[in-house]
Amino acid sequence: MRYFILTILIITVIAAGGICGAEDGSELRQIRREIQQIRADEERQRQRDERLIGELEQKVEKLENQNRQLQQSSAQMQTRTTQQLQQINEQLGSSASDFARTFHDYLGTHTFTLTGAVGGDFIYDRQTATNTFALDFEPIILYRVTDWLLFEGTIEANLPAGGGADFSLPVATAQIFLNDYLEVQAGIFDQPFGDWYEDQSPFWVNRFVTAPLPYSVEALIPPTDIGVQLRGGAQWGALGQDIDYTAWVSNGPSFANDIPQPVVGQAINGVNTIKVNTNGQGYGGRLRVYPFPLDSNLGRLELGASTLNGKWLHGNWYNAWGVDFAYLRGPLQARGEFLEMYRQMPTGNADNRQGWYVQVGYFLNQLPLPFAPDPVADFIHRLEPLIRYSGVNQRAIVQDEVSTLPETGFSGSPSIFTPHAREVALGLDYWVAPSIVWQNEVDLELPEAGGSIIAFGGNPTPTVIPRGATPNDVAFLSQLAIGF
């Protein structure tokens, strides 16, 4: 702007001089002095600006130096702090971790866990014209000492018809987990034979109220045993393609001993076959294979095979084998088994028995009901209809061992106690909650003729009576099972 003003003045002077012809000398000198003053002012301003810029640059550099020093000091302090903390952890960490681990091992992962179920039954049988109530309470106590040691105990309290109470200890085991693929189990355990006793027999797991005939009052396999198991599993293919195995040695089978002499058709002893074993042990094995991968959308299929062998009386052999399957896909579930038992008798007449069952159930929770009101649809979606067919073949039944007293899981029907029993069971379950189910079952007892009835009647020599046609029977059982 100053240069612009100076230029205007010069042009004005020149123009004025050109017009007037001459100019007073004093005015020209004054203009020159003003020009020099302007130039001097500009130089002083320039020097002043340069000085200010220099001072600002010095201040910025000083601040940058201070910031670098602070960063270096902070890094050094952080390093020293880390080193000091590390030294403290090295001094105190070992003893603290050792104490925590020791205290943890002493208390266990879970001191106690209480689970199990309680169930109430109503039982009606047409042939005996009885209707009664029964109660079963089965708490399960779990005590986990460490990650590799678990104790399990089951106490069963059964209140059957006729008064009184039955108490038993069907399971009392120590489970030692050696690694991810191997476990040792010792004590009183559910018989691992097949898929029933170990996986399906608890009344809050069984879809029906009763057990299939081969595992009911005419059982072919001891329900529990005492001994040692070795069990494990592994993945052999894609995810879901697994195999598991169980091998065990135990006291082995024993039969009812309240009759003068062993005969064909004796009942197998039930819960807690704890006895003085002078005949050697029982030996068993089970292998289960799961062939379908989880991502195949073919459902979950289990194929199993089992065997149980041992001595039962003065070196007489007992042999049993069976094959089973279980299939789950969406709302459909099906399972079944075929098994045989052979018992060597002192008299030379073998005691051969066969049993089987197959059952199918279907949850209605996925049934489309577009026109049903919400309460009706909710009720139907909680239902699970079922059907089961089971049977037993054997040569004889011992009349002295027959008991038609109803109890939890047993209707008391006399038609079950036949050499060739047959049963069709129709079930309808209503699931109040995942752990609460109201089960209803109608049993059609359809025994076939054949075989014999053996009766002692207090005599040392039994009476053998051929078994002819047996009346059919109908029983109804209703049970409310609550798991906890």
Buried b (16+ CB within 10 A) or exposed e, 262-277: bbbbbbbbebbbeeeb
**Does 89 share its domain with 154?**
no
Q: Where are the alpha helices (DSSP H) in 320-405?
A: 374-381
pLDDT tens figures, 280-302: 688 999 999 999 999 898 999 99
Which residues span the domain enclosing 51? 2-104
**Does 209 share its domain with 77?**
no
Q: What pLDDT score was predicted for residue 19? A: 46
Answer whether 341's CB lies under 8 Å from 320's CB: yes
- Cα–Cα separations (whole angstroms), residue 444 to 78, 372, 409: 82, 33, 15
pLDDT tens figures, 147-195: 888 999 998 888 776 666 778 888 999 999 998 889 999 999 999 999 9
Q: Which residue has 């399971």 as its token pair?
A: 171
**Does 25 share its domain with 152?**
no
Q: What pLDDT score was predicted for residue 54? A: 81
> What's the mean pLDDT in 208-236?
93
Q: What pLDDT score was predicted for residue 20? A: 46
Domain end position, chosen among 81, 104, 127: 104
Domain end position, chosen among 104, 123, 155: 104
Q: How far is the C-alpha of 367 from the C-alpha of 382, rounded, in Å?
A: 10
164 burial (CB, 10 Å; 0-12 / 13-18 / 19+) is exposed
- Cα–Cα separations (whole angstroms), residue 161 to 109, 130, 213, 218: 41, 10, 21, 20
**Does 249 share its domain with 331?**
yes
* % of the chain beyond a pLDDT of 70: 87
Per-residue pLDDT at 418 exceeds 50: yes
Q: Which residue has 């090295």 as its token pair?
A: 90
**Does 43 share its domain with 154?**
no
User: How many domains is the chain partitioned into structurally?
Assistant: 2
Phi and psi torsions of 326, nearest 5°: -145, 135
Q: How far is the C-alpha of 158 from the C-alpha of 50, rounded, in Å?
A: 105
pLDDT tens figures, 32-70: 888 888 888 788 888 887 888 888 888 888 888 888 888
Coil, helix or strand at residue 207: coil
* % of the chain beyond a pLDDT of 90: 47
Q: How far is the C-alpha of 106 from the C-alpha of 113, rounded, in Å?
A: 16
**Does 197 share its domain with 340?**
yes
Q: How far is the C-alpha of 431 from the C-alpha of 320, rounded, in Å?
A: 36
- DSSP codes of every residue in 117-173: EEEEEEEEETTTTEEEEEEEEEEEEEEEEETTEEEEEEEEEEE-TTS--EEEEEEEE
Q: What pLDDT score was predicted for residue 1? A: 55
Coil, helix or strand at residue 174: strand
Q: What pLDDT score was predicted for residue 72? A: 83
Hey, what amino acid is at 197? Answer: Y
Q: How far is the C-alpha of 412 from the C-alpha of 118, rounded, in Å?
A: 21
**Does 139 share its domain with 162?**
yes
> pLDDT band at residue 86, thresholds of 50, 70 and 90?
confident
**Beta-strand pair 396-398/452-455:** parallel
Q: What pLDDT score was predicted for residue 470? A: 84
Q: What pLDDT score was predicted for residue 17? A: 53
> pLDDT band at residue 22, thresholds of 50, 70 and 90?
very low
**Does 251 share its domain with 390?**
yes
> What's the mean pLDDT in 235-254?
92
pLDDT tens figures, 319-361: 999 999 999 999 999 999 999 999 998 877 889 999 999 999 9
pLDDT tens figures, 91-126: 655 556 666 666 565 555 567 888 999 999 999 999
Which residue has better confidence, 110 or 428?
428
